[in-house]
């Protein structure tokens, strides 16, 4: 298996992470969302909220119908993987020409036991990135020069196969979560360590910082919280245990006093930020007779809060809009994905695991258009030796999107950055960045930044 494909597998394929080995997954139960008593899931059960015969296709009545997008706006701080505590940035004004300004390597890329999975964040004229070995670097946002680098991995290195984690920015500090079972505070100006807290389990996603709290989801489906100033542990929330999950993870979204987190169990949970009391719990599960992978119910993409709704996509095949206040699903679509959706104006965009970019009505879930980025692609050989052996695949893994200047930017594992017309779904161009792109781009000022699986930061202007 080639190193490139191993990197791609880290973002999409599944693994049984329990120390005791594989566990038997519970069966899905049918669920009728019509009138009648509401059925609830007990421990170990899942309720399918998408009808088995639901088909993803553009709505005939919406063909050629226009919709509203907010005007592009310049982003001055990209503090979290999704840009804001809600994990939502509507429409950015940056890099109209999409020309490569510079490239900068920032450490070790993907390998046999390391993977670059941390989305970049940006503030104070710097872009903050983390390589496959847990080293955090501050890069000058204009020039690409390295400002500082700090190795956050523990000295004992007892987790030699640890990977993942991420960074978040708040009030001049960086907060780093890690597959090395720790959360660390760094000074954003110098990289100096402020505090360090060890955790019982690895953390494969970036933390979220809001209201003086640091929040991160560990691989045992526990939501951990810490005091941002001191690192003192706060309340925790334990979701259902699910040993089979995706080798990537999610960061919580926060709106006011409500935290929304997703878990490897397929649960989407809303909690009180002050004390962790649960408000509602929804299982984004869908049974499939044709794919055993639908039994992997993980929600690896970040949930996104936008105008009173929560948008999330599960690996089990549910793309849902959920009322933030009540937890009731407003609509669902049969989409298998591991990226975060992108709501903006009248619509919400999502990228499926098979490379379909979907534009749906934010209010109804009806589909305006679908662009299949794998359409017409020639099969390519993965694995083998000197061109022999291995297997042929025709589908590429894609991550994103980012909405910038009325275009969607979606990165692929082959190194291509697809540029799609946000209104029509037409593929306008592709930019070859010559390295797998498994992390969605971000924006700061007039520049878009892309992190590649080989630990390169690419600036587009």
Backbone φ and ψ of 145, nearest 5°: -70, 145
Condensed to tens digits (0 to 9), the pLDDT of residues 65-88 reads: 999 999 999 999 999 999 999 999
412 pLDDT higher than 60: yes
pLDDT at 37: 34
How many angstroms separate the CA atoms of 316 and 262, rounded? 13
DSSP state string for 180-201: TTEEEEEETTT--EEEEEE-SS
Element (H, E) at 12: helix 3-12
pLDDT at 375: 82
Element (H, E) at 119: none
CB atoms within 10 A of CB 328: 12
385 pLDDT higher than 70: no
Which residues, other chains included, contact 6 with Cβ-Cβ below 8 Å and sequence gap of 6+? 110, 111, 112
Beta strands in 107-265 (DSSP E): 121-123, 126-130, 135-140, 146-151, 165-170, 173-178, 182-187, 193-198, 208-210, 213-217, 222-227, 233-238, 244-246, 253-255, 258-262
Query: Which of these ranges, 60-64, 82-86, 188-192, 290-294, has the smallest mean pLDDT?
Result: 290-294
pLDDT at 1: 47
Report pTM.
0.85
227 pLDDT higher than 80: yes
Q: Which residue has the higher pLDDT, 442 or 154?
A: 442
- Looking only at the bridges linking them, the beta strands covering 46-47 and 367-372 are unpaired
Q: Which residue has the higher pLDDT, 455 or 391?
A: 455
pLDDT at 31: 29
Residues 162-195: b if buried by 16+ CB within 10 A, e if exposed? bbbbbbbbbeebbbbbbbbbbbbbbebeebeeeb
- Walk me through the domains of the chain, giving residue ranges and CATH numbers: 3-28+46-460 (2.130.10.10)
Q: How confident is the model at residue 248 (pLDDT cuts 50, 70, 90)?
A: low
pLDDT at 73: 98
449 pLDDT higher than 90: yes
Residues 196-223: b if buried by 16+ CB within 10 A, e if exposed? ebebeebbbbbbbbbeebbbbbbbbbbb
pLDDT at 160: 58
Q: What would the mean pLDDT of 165-181 be, rounded to a whole number?
A: 96
Mean of per-residue pLDDT scores for the chain: 85
How many angstroms separate the CA atoms of 205 and 278, rounded? 22
How many angstroms separate the CA atoms of 396 and 82, rounded? 23
pLDDT at 42: 43
18 pLDDT higher than 60: no
Q: What would the mean pLDDT of 200-226 be, rounded to a whole number?
A: 95
Instruction: Tell me the two tokens of residue 167.
Output: 């960074």
pLDDT at 298: 82
How many angstroms separate the CA atoms of 164 and 160, rounded? 12
Q: How confident is the model at residue 153 (pLDDT cuts 50, 70, 90)?
A: confident
> Which residue, 395, 162, 178, 438, is CA-closest to 300?
438
CB 391 within 8 A of CB 385: no
286 pLDDT higher than 70: no
pLDDT at 292: 46
Q: How confident is the model at residue 253 (pLDDT cuts 50, 70, 90)?
A: very high
Condensed to tens digits (0 to 9), the pLDDT of residues 86-112 reads: 999 999 999 999 999 999 999 988 666
How many angstroms separate the CA atoms of 94 and 78, rounded? 13
Q: How confident is the model at residue 154 (pLDDT cuts 50, 70, 90)?
A: confident
Instruction: Tell me the two tokens of residue 423.
Output: 């209104």
pLDDT at 35: 35
pLDDT at 269: 97
How many angstroms separate the CA atoms of 77 and 70, rounded? 19
Could you give the percent of the chain with pLDDT greater than 70? 78
pLDDT at 326: 96
55 pLDDT higher than 80: yes
pLDDT at 25: 28
Q: Which residue has the higher pLDDT, 374 or 15?
A: 374
386 pLDDT higher than 50: no
């Amino acid at each position: 298996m080639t190193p490139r494909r191993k990197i791609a597998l880290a973002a999409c394929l599944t693994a049984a992470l329990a120390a005791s080995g594989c566990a038997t997954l519970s069966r899905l139960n049918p669920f009728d969302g019509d009138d009648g008593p509401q059925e609830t899931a007990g421990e170990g059960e899942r309720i399918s909220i998408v009808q088995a015969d639901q088909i993803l296709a553009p709505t005939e009545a919406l063909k050629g119908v226009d919709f509203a997008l907010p005007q592009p706006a310049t982003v001055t701080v990209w503090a979290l993987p999704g840009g804001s505590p809600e994990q939502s940035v509507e429409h950015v004004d940056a890099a109209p020409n999409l020309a490569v300004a510079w490239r900068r390597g920032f450490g070790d890329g993907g390998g046999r036991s390391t993977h670059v999975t941390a989305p970049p964040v940006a503030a104070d004229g710097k872009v903050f990135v983390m390589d496959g070995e847990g080293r955090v670097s501050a890069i000058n946002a204009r020039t690409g020069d390295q400002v500082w680098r700090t190795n956050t991995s523990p000295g004992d290195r007892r987790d030699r196969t640890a990977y993942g984690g991420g960074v978040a920015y708040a009030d001049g500090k960086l907060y780093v979560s890690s597959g090395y079972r720790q959360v660390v505070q760094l000074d954003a100006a110098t990289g100096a360590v402020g505090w360090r807290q060890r955790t019982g389990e690895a953390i494969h996603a970036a933390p979220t910082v809001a209201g003086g709290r640091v929040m991160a989801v560990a691989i045992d489906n526990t939501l951990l919280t810490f005091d941002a100033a001191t690192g003192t542990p706060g309340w925790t929330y334990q979701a259902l245990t699910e040993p089979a999950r995706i080798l990537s993870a999610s960061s919580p979204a926060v709106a006011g006093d409500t935290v929304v987190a997703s878990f490897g169990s397929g649960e989407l949970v809303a909690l009180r930020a002050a004390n962790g009391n649960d408000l509602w719990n929804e299982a984004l599960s869908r049974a499939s007779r044709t794919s055993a992978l639908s039994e992997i119910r993980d929600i690896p993409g970040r949930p996104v809060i936008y105008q009173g709704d929560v948008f999330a996509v599960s690996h089990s095949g549910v793309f849902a809009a959920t009322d933030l206040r009540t937890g009731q699903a407003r609509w669902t679509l049969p989409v298998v994905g591991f990226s975060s959706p992108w709501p903006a104006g009248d619509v919400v965009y999502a990228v499926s695991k098979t490379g379909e970019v979907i534009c749906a009505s934010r209010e109804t879930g009806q589909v305006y258009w679908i662009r299949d980025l794998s359409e017409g692609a020639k099969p390519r050989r993965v694995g083998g030796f000197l061109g022999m052996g291995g297997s042929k695949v025709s589908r590429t893994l894609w991550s994103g999107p980012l909405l910038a200047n009325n275009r969607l930017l979606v990165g692929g594992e082959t190194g291509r950055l697809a540029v799609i017309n946000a209104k029509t779904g037409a593929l306008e161009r592709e930019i070859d960045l010559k390295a797998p792109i498994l992390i969605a781009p971000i924006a700061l000022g007039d520049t878009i930044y892309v992190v590649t699986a080989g630990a390169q930061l690419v600036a587009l202007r």
